[in-house]
Amino acid sequence: MNGKERIRKTLSFEPVDRTPWVPYAGVQAANLIGLDAETYLKNADNIVSGILKAYELYKPDGLPVVFDIQIEAEALGCKLKWAKNNPPSVATHILEEKPLSELKLPTENDGRYPIVLETARKLVAAIGDKIALYALICGPFTLALHLRGTEIFTEMIEEPELVEELLQFCTEVAKSFASMYAQTGIAVIAVVDPMTSQISPRHFKRFVKPYATELNQHVKALGLKVTTFCCGDATKNIELMCQTETDGIAFDENVDLAYAKEIATNYKVSFGGNLPLTTVMLFGSPLENVKEARREIETGQGVGYILSSGCDIPFDTPVKNLMAISDYVNGDFSSLEMLESSQELQSEDEPEMEDVEIKSGHVFIEIVTLDSEGCPPCQYMCEAVRKIQSRYESKLTWRESLVKTRAGIKRMGELGVKNLPAMLINNKVVFDNIIPSEKELIGEIESRL
């Protein structure tokens, strides 16, 4: 049984010979070939080289073609902010400039569509018979945020019909992109919709479930497997995700694997995750990574489980950590007892984040994130604050604390933050893994002023 067969059977909820392994090597693959993220993501041959290197080193059962869920937004007219170590983020929202009626479905010639489709064709030719290649597309709800911005949270309450019209358009964009990818020969469509962790089950039922179901049905009609990925604490919506006719769900360390397994197994839906991105994969030793992988496999083992990273693997993640996991998954235990911890979590090599004194008549907001440059929920939580900042001028200050640094991880523990992203106001967690509407945020600030 090769990797491709192993993934297809697992996504069909059939038993396989061992736990499948899918490292989401996105921009981390750029690092493997000595390129920055922007240079990598703008050239098909670069992406092909990076993924082939990841295939060689990590011995996976599946890999993403490219991990960038801003491609559709860019093709529709949104401007991007590029980074060296992260995928780009959406810098402008096209629906703030023109009405929805003027937007057209992207074609194979728009934006970076030609680049990623060429990448998919070349990878299918090179390794598509050996492993399952995942084509990632932006889920309808997250794409709606890219196009409209954080106004959508207010409009979900005040003008829900407009939001539904936008979501239907975003669904058509996703269906179209999935059809293009299907022609390249890839095996799996992964619908990445991270913003759905930021809404309640009530809103999920209305603004996500019908559109996700329509999209998943379309992908299956193309003869492909479909998975649904959501980062952040998606616990409250895990069961609803399983009700969208998806073949599999995937999530990060904010979701308890045992809980997700119980729910997914009831629906005979595959489930994947959820190796911690920073505390283990980025900063841990090879031995710590193997121990974590073993814990995950012991919890998830059985029909339907896929071991994977919690999301797009951080750019600077040590190669030896991923190779150690790969060796373990593939049954090579010869060096396990020889692994030594070479990157123990320490904070003395980085400056600590200072506390901010809370003064009367002043509000301090701290947003704890994975990284707003590459994580859409983190980006839009920061954007929510930027949008109202001028209203308060010097009465409001804020900062982003990243857990992609040792100091940030320590700060997260000191603050008692459990889920990402989280917004603290005057050092108290107020919005835990949920992005506030403008009205909600203003209300919390006003009450403190």
67-81, 96-110, 158-172, 416-430: least confident range = 416-430
Hey, which residues does 365 pair with through a beta bridge? 398, 425
Looking at residue 407, what is its pLDDT? 76
Distances (CA, A) of 130 to 26, 57, 62, 133, 180: 19, 15, 9, 9, 22
Characterize the bridge pairing of strands 225-230 and 248-251: parallel
Looking at residue 369, what is its pLDDT? 87
Hey, which residues does 63 pair with through a beta bridge? 133
Residue 12 confidence (pLDDT) above 50 = yes
Looking at residue 341, what is its pLDDT? 41
**What would the pLDDT profile of 179-217 be if each residue is shown by its tens digit?**
999 999 999 999 999 989 989 999 999 999 999 999 999
The DSSP-derived string for 44-99 is HHHHHHHHHHHHHHH--SEEES---TTHHHHHTT--EE--SSS--EE-S-GGGTS-
**What would the pLDDT profile of 21-77 be if each residue is shown by its tens digit?**
999 999 999 999 999 999 999 999 999 999 999 999 999 999 999 999 999 999 999
Looking at residue 164, what is its pLDDT? 98
134-143, 328-337, 413-422, 435-444: least confident range = 328-337
Looking at residue 334, what is its pLDDT? 56
**What would the pLDDT profile of 234-255 be if each residue is shown by its tens digit?**
999 999 999 999 999 999 999 9
Rounded to a whole number of angstroms, the CA Rg of the chain reads 21
Looking at residue 163, what is its pLDDT? 97
Confidence of residue 336 (pLDDT cuts 50, 70, 90): low
Residues 366, 401: Cα–Cα separation, whole Å: 7
Question: End-to-end alpha-carbon separation of the chain, Å?
Answer: 63
Residues 398, 377: Cα–Cα separation, whole Å: 17
Average pLDDT value for residue range 251-274: 96
Residues 295, 442: Cα–Cα separation, whole Å: 43
Q: Please, are residues 44 and 118 in contact by the beta-carbon 8 Å criterion? A: yes
Looking at residue 350, what is its pLDDT? 57
Looking at residue 297, what is its pLDDT? 96
Characterize the bridge pairing of strands 62-64 and 248-251: unpaired
User: How much of the chain exceeds pLDDT 90, in percent?
Assistant: 78
Q: What are phi and psi of 251, to 5 degrees?
A: -160, 170
Buried b (16+ CB within 10 A) or exposed e, 124-152: beebbeebbbbbbbbbbbbbbbbbbbbbb
Looking at residue 349, what is its pLDDT? 54
Q: Is 174 exposed, middle or buried (0-12, 13-18, 19+ CB in 10 A)?
A: buried
Angle at the Cα of 372 (from 367 to 378), degrees rounded to 5? 55
Plot region of 304 (φ>0 → left; ψ -120 to 50 → alpha; else → beta): left
357 vs 201, more confident:
201
Confidence of residue 347 (pLDDT cuts 50, 70, 90): very low
Average pLDDT value for residue range 328-332: 88
CB atoms within 10 A of CB 106: 21
What is the identity of the amino acid at 398? W
Please report, for the chain, the start and end positions of each structural domain, with discontinuous segments joined by +.
3-338, 363-448
pTM of the predicted protein model: 0.86
Q: What is the DSSP letter of 8?
A: H
Work out the mean pLDDT of the chain and round it to a whole number: 92
Average pLDDT value for residue range 89-109: 97
CATH number among 1.10.1030.10, 3.30.43.10, 3.20.20.210, 3.30.70.3450, domain 3-338: 3.20.20.210
**What would the pLDDT profile of 369-408 be if each residue is shown by its tens digit?**
888 887 888 888 899 999 889 999 889 999 998 887 777 7
Distances (CA, A) of 59 to 127, 189, 325, 330, 337: 12, 21, 10, 8, 21
Looking at residue 343, what is its pLDDT? 40
Q: Is 378 exposed, middle or buried (0-12, 13-18, 19+ CB in 10 A)?
A: buried
Domain 363-448 has CATH 3.40.30.10: yes
CB atoms within 10 A of CB 449: 11
Hey, which residues does 272 pair with through a beta bridge? 250, 306
Among 272, 265, 279, 274, which Cα is nearest to 295's? Answer: 274
Average pLDDT value for residue range 74-91: 96
Confidence of residue 414 (pLDDT cuts 50, 70, 90): confident
Could you give the maximum distance between any two Cα atoms of the chain, in Å?
Answer: 66
Q: Is 298 exposed, middle or buried (0-12, 13-18, 19+ CB in 10 A)?
A: exposed
